[in-house]
Structure 1
């Protein structure tokens, strides 16, 4: 073993617990870099000893080691949907913002309002890699036009925290948008680095279905009859709700695929293991978390028919509640209140995932495979809402998945 090798990274990588957030590279840039590994996930590569201070930060904040608890976030909480101060459905009043966003453009509208009022100087989020359009790069947006241009879901590996050390050194007020695990890492880092809350006064997230590999996107492109290496642009969705996956090539060809086919037929089959045991896929420690406010049918299944976008908007902190209120008052958003239990019909897959976390992590314990610390996330409370057959099926299925991975 390398002298000075991070025990946290060793444990996280051996247990398939890495989410690829890049936090470790951000706090130890001289020792850790992010690389892409098959079949297309972002993983840390340690090339030098990690200092004691950096190791302490990694052990505290890495979402593969510990997930930030929900306790103390808000006065109300739900075992599926996390802490909340306000729950609404809504959409951006600017038609272009609403159209460009993956659902109702709520996150984009909130970011544009925060930039326009000077609450933040820039937005840290991800956008398409111009050289490899199915992949992601991190970017900083400073205008409404840039926010809209970089809007839309990006179902591919991203490491938005890999430059976090540099951004903290610069100290510009920044709004952060990332996956729930990314926000968890940033919140936890704030417990050992006082610069975090000053630099990132706003942290926004979304309900996450899990992170697929690059191979999933490549399968979509080939199913469209195109080749990934010939792409000039690729959108996973957006430009409508839910929006079509759309690819364009160097020779002027283009193709589209429905959200139901792209996610259900390809991407969902490529989700990394860490996401399958995620205890907080709903951005429980973000200031505001948004999602698709799907219209459910009589059987409880969301409808993916193209229509005007509608976002689910959950304000969790005082800062998030204030931002939402100001954006509504300024005419940036239209919202309507929603009861917490009504989210079940909009996001049934998220509800199912949460109530099965306990069974899936029990499989890991049975096989002596590590799991992240999950205290204060209502994992046990959610499991009590699952059927015994459902729990057993997922316990055995996870054991089978782990054993296959070990071969």
Structure 2
């Protein structure tokens, strides 16, 4: 994997040629690789397929780890680290592959193998940064043992596909812990943070995407940068030009063709409970989707022992916490698949369909795609020319359009509202 000019990681080398049989079956976005339904059916044959949004699952829960220090050290309810630590503590695994802050002189984040609870806690928190699994999977091949992997949906799927081709990985990677995902960001996102926080991007040494504060709502994200002299700068995302996650700034283009929100191929998946009263609880709250019997037993025992504060919920509750993500990857994906494109034609579980989508919603999806595509270009140009204001000015203007279309607010909202009324009435207003 190598960095491109947009701050994204791309596969390189002869083995990644799109006609290479190994690569086409390994890449999670390849039309020739197994899809999520096929992988889940083979791994969880006894788990009911109750809901197409969540895939196969045994149970769903909302809550947090009440056993310290997991909730406090995590970005949400601490459940990811609690389950990983429990698997390790009971001897089911010898190590966990998950994302850690990078060492000095290295990228901000990267996959490492944790072999103790303290190492697990050091790797907790959200990391909205490009990373890859190549080096850490080589470590698994070189070191016998049983391992768990923590990752977003496409990473978990990629590990399943790698296990299908590599018997060593199939034997040693025994558990998959999935994270709900909205989309991947490029490394330029950190550069944009620095520009807007008045810092030189070259001086940034550490990044915290979600600085946790129990006294503030969990959905009030705060970007926090540590500079080379130890000084720190921070601000809430909603004060940033590109701080609205749904607008798609710096989104990886592959994310436009993902139909898995909740890591359907993972043994257990974790997300944030983005519904009230949980989204206002600054301590953080998880939703948990369980697919493997072993994980269900660990959770049941944790609840019975008072170590977990979890309550059962249904699939609709979990889907509601990720409502925007499901719109983007169901209705939005169906619409995007109707667009004329060159190159590889994605094969998804969602069929191409533009019927029943109003003009305004179509414009939302078009605008989001344009913001995603052009944010890479504008930020790169701003970096090369040393004029960050050119990107930030563009980002703010683009958001005015997106805000008016999506939220019916801002300077352009009255215009879009008037057009919508005209179309509903079948003609111009008089």
* TM-score category (smaller protein): 0.7 to 0.9
Q: Which residue of 1 aligns with 2:398?
A: none
- Aligned equivalents of 1:39, 1:334: Cα separation in 2: 42
Q: Is the contact made by 1:202 and 1:319 (CA closer than 8 Å) also made in structure 2?
A: no
Structure number with larger C-alpha Rg: 2
- Shift of residue 319 of structure 1? 4.0
Partners of 1:219 and 1:396 in 2: CA distance: 23
Distance 1:317 1:166 in 2: 26
Indicate if the aligned counterparts of 2:25 and 2:34 stay in contact, CA closer than 8 A.
Answer: no
Distance in 2, matches of 1:246 and 1:309, equals 18
Q: So what's the TM-score if we normalise by structure 2?
A: 0.74
Query: Quick one: which of 150, 173, 179 aligns to 2:146?
Result: 173
Normalized against structure 1, the TM-score is what?
Answer: 0.78
Alignment of 1:336 with 2:311, yes or no, is: yes
* Aligned 1:117-196 pairs, distance under 5 A: 117-131=90-104, 135-196=108-169
The answer as to whether partners of 2:211 and 2:222 remain within 8 angstroms in 1 is: yes
> Aligned pair in 2 of structure 1 residues 235, 212: CA closer, same or farther (>3 Å)?
same
Could you tell me whether the CA contact under 8 Å between 2:84 and 2:96 is conserved in 1? yes
1:321 maps onto 2:300 in alignment? no
Structure 1 stretches of 5 or more lacking a match? 1-33
Check 1:63–1:244 CA distance in 2 against 1; reply closer, same or farther (3 A cut): same
1:119–1:331 distance in 2 versus 1, CA, 3 Å = farther
Q: Which runs of no fewer than 5 residues in structure 2 stay unpaired?
A: 378-430
Specify which of 58, 68, 89 is matched with residue 116 of structure 1. 89
Deviation of the 1:89 alpha carbon: 0.6
2:336: which partner in 1? 360
Aligned residue number for residue 292 of structure 1: 272
Task: State whether residues 61 and 184 of structure 1, in contact with CA within 8 Å, keep that contact through their aligned partners in structure 2.
Answer: no
Matches within 5 A, 1:18-167: 34-46=1-13, 49-50=14-15, 55-65=20-30, 66=33, 68-71=35-38, 72=41, 73=44, 74-131=47-104, 135-167=108-140
Aligned residues: 359
CA 341–265 in structure 1, closer or farther in 2 if over 3 Å, else same: same
- Contact kept, 8 Å, 1:126 with 1:160, in 2: the verdict is no
Superposition RMSD in Å: 3.3
2-side partners of 1:182 and 1:233: how far apart? Answer: 24
Deviation, 1:123, is 0.7
CA contact 1:110–1:327 (8 Å) conserved in 2: no
